Each structure stands twice: as C-alpha cells, then as structure tokens.
Structure 1
Amino acid sequence: MWVDFVPVVFALVGSCVAVFTDLRERIIPNRLTYPLIVVGIGFHLVVGFYRGEFVLAFFGVFGAGLAFSLGYFMYLTGGWAGGDVKLFTAFGALLPAYESPHVVSPLVAYPLFPITILINSVLAAIPVLLIYVLVSRLKGFGIFYETKKISELEEGIIPAEIIYQKNEEIERYDAGPLGFLSRKLSAPDWDEKLTDPDRAAGVTDENIEKLKQLVDEGKLEDRIKTKKGMPFGPALAAGLFIGVFYGSLYWKFMLFLI
C-alpha cells in the first residue's frame, strides 16, 4: 500500500536536509531529527493498531532504541557527534524494517534495518575517511581532536577532556586513546565536573560561562581539548539511500563469497 512508503519519503527527504546542514553549518539540527523520530514512532503505532498488528505497532520504538544504542556507542568512540546519533535514531524510528529491491537481508522481517544502514554508511565512508586521515596527517592536524581557546567555545561543542574541581582546585583529566573506557574505570574523584565528554549535547552556555570565569580569575588556562566532529551525516544518508534502493552491502559481499 502507498501508505507504507510514507516513512521512506520522510527518511530520504530528511537525510537530504541533514546532509545540507551538516556540510554547510557542521550541525544536524534538533528541529529536524526530533520530529522525524516522533513521526517514525507515531506512524508505526497508528498503522500497527489500525491493522491489528500489535507487534508492528512497536517496530518504531524498537528501531529507534536499536539505532540510538548503536549510535551512542559510535558517539562514545569519538567518531560521531550528537546530531549523527539523533539522525540515525530517526532513521531507525522511520525504517525499523525494510525490504530492499535487490540485495535483501535474511533478517528483513525483523526491525533490524538500522544495522543495514549503519554497515552501508561505514563502508561508504571508508574511502572518504582514508583521504581525510591522509590529508590531516600531511597538514599536521589532529584526526579526531583539536585544541580550542575556552573563550572561543560555543554551545554544543563536545569536549574531549574532563575539567573538574576538587578541593577548590581546578584539574584536567584526559582519558587518552581508550576514551570512554578509561573515564569509567580510572577517572579521578571530583567535587564538580565542569565538562563531560560523554554528554551527547556538548557543553552548555552555563558550562562555558563558568569556564570563562575561571580563565578570567587565572585559575584555568585558556585552552580545551575538543572532539573534532567529522560531518558523518552524508555517510549516513548514503547508507540509507543504498539500503533503500539497493540493499545490504554486507549481504552482497557474503553472497559474492558464497
């Protein structure tokens, strides 16, 4: 039925808008992703209950949850920004399950299509990532991190180190290459944490004002290590388009081997 293509249209159009904003402004806005998530969950609830298919009714919820879990893991590794996670969650809510016209995964009847989108996205991004790494190395830039002045911080930027207060002293903690794992296993104690690398929304205006005040008081050096966000929105969009119009690159590869 034509109604089944409604979430497909929303996902494809939304991905195009996300690519535009990600490349132009280096951000995927909440005013795009949140409505897409609501539409995806709401669509499956309405259609599922209307058709009496109560499992289908909760496909949107499951797809969004699966996509968010996978996306948040990618975020913790430092590869994704918060907007990428929310865009991927929107794709999961809209298209938890989808039967592609060419290469179809054997799990097509289950709400696991976000996995296909993610794998397609990663494979599509590999050539671009390799070029990016090479150019960054040749120019002497960091690949995933950069150092900014605290006075230049903007809301939403994701810190790569913890700045905290302990016994009225301001300290820094950089988890190093192990990132999230080190922060959970060996992070120091603090009275107040001023920056949090694991907060998907990044620093708040309140955080920034407090950090700037500490800089003005001479208690904190005017620098902060931040995550260098790569625009992964185009790769996610590519993974979506490949999945919708072609299918799973992973299963194509597996069929080739067989």
Structure 2
Amino acid sequence: MDVEVLLVLLVGSLAGVLTSYTDLKTGFIFDNHVFPLLALVEKLKGLEEEDDNLPLNPFLLKIPVPAVEVGILLYLYLGLKSGDVMLALSGIIGFLLGLVLGLVLYYAGAWASGDALLLAGFSALLPYPLHYASVVAPYETKYPLYPVAILFNSVLAIFPFLFLYALGVLIVRKKTERLKQVLFEKANLSVEVALWLVAGIAVSIALQNAGIALPSVVRYLLTIVLIAVFGKYRRAGDVIGLVSFAYLVYLLRTDAVYSFIKLAIVLYLFKVFFSVVKVLREEALVEEVTVDELREWDILGETIYIEDGEVKRDRSGFFELLVRAIREGDLSVLTSPVRGEVIASPTAEGLSREQIERLKGLVDEGKIENRFLRKKAMPFAPSIFIGFLIAFFWGDIFWWLVLKTAGL
C-alpha cells in the first residue's frame, strides 16, 4: 500500500472512529476530530464547544485529527509534484463540495452541522477514487467529484435501517394512512419518469441512427430538458414515452423490457427513500414537548417569531421552503423563511437559556400554545464513516445501481 493511500486510510479511520463514538455517546461531533484548525479559530474567538458536562474522557476530546488539513496538503503536494493543477486543488474542491452537500442535508433538517463537517473532511481526503475502488463513475475519475459517492454510499448503506425504523414508528403509532403514503403515494410517478427517461434514450438512439452523434453531456442535458417539459405536460410525456418504449422494444426486444422494469424499480425505491426521509423528519426525528421540557442546547423543529405584534410559528421543512423559494424567485427564503423578529429557530447552536425563558414568558402570557417541536438527535457519523470506507475499498453504490439498471 502506498504511503499516500495509507495516510488517507489511517487519518480517515481515526476521524471516523472518534466521531462515531462521540456522536453515539453524546450526539456531538467535535471540530477537533475533523478540522483542528477550525477548532483553534473558534477557540481564539471564544466560540469553543461546551464539553465540561459531557460523559467523555477529557483526553479523548483533545485528540486532534487533521482530516481536512491532511487532505488539502496531500493533494496539493501530489499535484505540484506531477504538475497537475486539478489534482493540486482537488483537496480544496473536495472539501468545499462535501461541505455544500452536507449543508444541503443540514438545511433539509436531516443532518446536524457536525455531520456536514465530517462529510467535508472525508471529501478532502478522498476527492478522487483510489485504485481499490472497482465501481466508479467516469466523471469521478476525471474530476474531484468523489464526495458525491461518499454521500450516496452513506445514505444508501443505511437506507434499509432507516426504512425499518420509520416503518416501526408508523406501526407503533398506528399511522396506517401515513404508511400507505410511504409505499403507494405517487408510486405511478416512478413509471412515468421511467417513460420520460426512455424518451430521452430513444431520441439519442434515433439521432445516432440518423448519423447525428451527440456528446454524452449534450445527451444528459437533452434528457433533463425532456423530463422538465414532460413534468409540465405529463399526458403528452406519457404518450411520447410509450411510443419511445415501443420503439426500443422493436430495436432491443426483451432487453428493453427488462431495463425498463429495473429502471422503474430503482425510481420507486428513490421515491420510497424520500418518503421515508419525510417521515423521519416529521414523525420520528421530532417530538412535541412543553416549554418546561425544553433544555439548553435543544434544537427546535420550528421557528417562533413575532410579526405585527403577534407571536407566530412556522414548521415548514426544507423542501417546502425550496418550492416556495422557486415559486417566489427568492432564494433568501431558504435562510430567512419568516419576516419579523425571530425568537427561536432550528439552528445548530440550539436553544439558549435566554430563549427558553422568553418562550416561558410568552406561554405564561397566553401568547403562544404550550407545545413545541424538538428535534431528536440521530447519530449519522457512523453511516458517513461507512460511506467513506465503501468509497475507499469498493466504489460508488449509486453508480453500481445505474449500471445494474442499464443491464451492465
């Protein structure tokens, strides 16, 4: 094993073990175990994490694991040594890409800020697949986009457990209608989208048969445009998709049928996945409590604010806010969904004592109902670590699914 590869594995494993342990034990991921330089800056600014009351060995908290620093410096050295600018910058690019992907899940309410930083750390260490990985997408070997594989590995590897957990929550709470929504709501859309994708494939094949060979990027963009158009004009899209499917069956016989069935199944599984995420966010990962049950550092599952002298609450999730931002053409909705004075909101810092006292005052005054959504902590650090190990030793689960769907 090369020294560089061994370094990536050792640093990544140390970061993964420590963050998994602290996340399982306390619900916290400490910056020092992923990005010591960030922890140092926070300490100098007086923003260091409060860890005095945590059930952890103080020595454990002082162990620095420079995952981000090692990743950035390692690829900078390798890139300068080989004269490859992209390789030299890949550690930085991987870190930023991983951070952006993690923050998307953070703002979606699925991850904590520590989870986003951990993904960024692994992404800095593994911006490209190593030679151990046997299943990787072509774009992941050309550009430092392997953080996408780490993320999908993390999510797909634990999806069966998340599904069973969400299923158990719905069964215990006897929410049969919600269970039906997870399994059957918009299930037909999986078949429709599969037809729309088939239409894109059929158009590319027809153009190729006519002597017009489109670059792969143009084919992907064409398929995306067709899906967007068919999403707006669904009946027309279904008809064109059926005609395209018949055309492919004529060309490829049963292979086209098998590929379509596998594609529809994969799309249905993604539909179930997003439904499970919604259930986790709305049912399993939040609980309704009184103001007396709120504690410092608790993270609210809603925004409490004052507008026009009236106390209001907003429980919109990330995807509802995203739809609203697109509809209104205002992306600031994602970060500032309400107007007026915000009393408390679902920030990573959690509730302060002052915010809790103010909420108690509003309840005593009868200005707000004494029920609040509080997020439950779910340790995602172990799954992110598993995603890193899968990406290191094996490859990209999502790309493997794509290949299997295509019959390859």
Give the TM-score range, shorter chain: 0.7 to 0.9
CA contact (8 A) 1:41 1:93 kept: yes
Q: 1:49 to 1:99 in 2, by over 3 A?
A: same
**TM alignment of 1:1-258, pairs within 5 A:** 1-35=2-36, 36-49=67-80, 52-105=83-136, 106=138, 107-140=140-173, 142-175=283-316, 178-181=319-322, 184=325, 187-190=337-340, 192-197=341-346, 199-215=347-363, 219-256=367-404, 257-258=407-408
CA distance in 2, matches of 1:220, 1:32: 41
CA distance in 1, matches of 2:362, 2:350: 19
CA contact (8 A) 1:103 1:252 kept: no
Read off the aligned partner of 2:342 and give its amino acid letter. K
> CA offset at residue 207 of structure 1?
3.5
Q: 1:189 to 1:253 in 2, by over 3 A?
A: closer
Read off the aligned partner of 1:181 and give its amino acid letter. L
Unmatched runs of 5 consecutive residues or more in structure 1: none
CA distance in 2, matches of 1:154, 1:58: 43
Read off the aligned partner of 2:91 and give its amino acid letter. G
SS at match of 1:124: helix
The structure carrying a bigger helix percent of its residues is 2
CA contact (8 A) 2:108 2:317 kept: no
CA distance in 2, matches of 1:206, 1:44: 45
Per-residue Cα deviation, 1:146-191 (whole angstroms, up to 9, x for no partner): 123334434543322110122443221222684433675585521x
- Further displaced range: 235-244 or 24-33: 24-33
CA distance in 2, matches of 1:183, 1:193: 19
CA distance in 2, matches of 1:155, 1:183: 31
Per-residue Cα deviation, 1:116-160 (whole angstroms, up to 9, x for no partner): 111111211111011101221123292232123334434543322
Give 1 or 2 for the bigger CA radius of gyration: 2
> CA offset at residue 31 of structure 1?
2.5
CA distance in 2, matches of 1:156, 1:100: 43
Read off the aligned partner of 1:163 and give its amino acid letter. I
CA contact (8 A) 1:74 1:80 kept: yes
SS at match of 1:58: helix
> CA offset at residue 50 of structure 1?
5.2
SS at match of 1:79: coil
CA distance in 2, matches of 1:40, 1:103: 22
> CA offset at residue 96 of structure 1?
1.2
Unmatched runs of 5 consecutive residues or more in structure 2: 37-66, 176-282
TM-score in terms of structure 2 length: 0.56
CA distance in 2, matches of 1:151, 1:31: 33
SS at match of 1:165: strand
RMSD between aligned residues: 2.8
> CA offset at residue 111 of structure 1?
0.9
SS at match of 2:153: helix
Read off the aligned partner of 1:240 and give its amino acid letter. F
Q: 1:241 to 1:225 in 2, by over 3 A?
A: same
Q: 1:166 to 1:253 in 2, by over 3 A?
A: closer
TM-score in terms of structure 1 length: 0.84
CA contact (8 A) 2:4 2:74 kept: no
CA contact (8 A) 1:121 1:235 kept: yes
CA distance in 2, matches of 1:183, 1:226: 24
CA distance in 2, matches of 1:218, 1:76: 31
Per-residue Cα deviation, 1:72-100 (whole angstroms, up to 9, x for no partner): 22223222222211111111122111224
> CA offset at residue 209 of structure 1?
4.6
SS at match of 1:193: strand
> CA offset at residue 231 of structure 1?
1.9
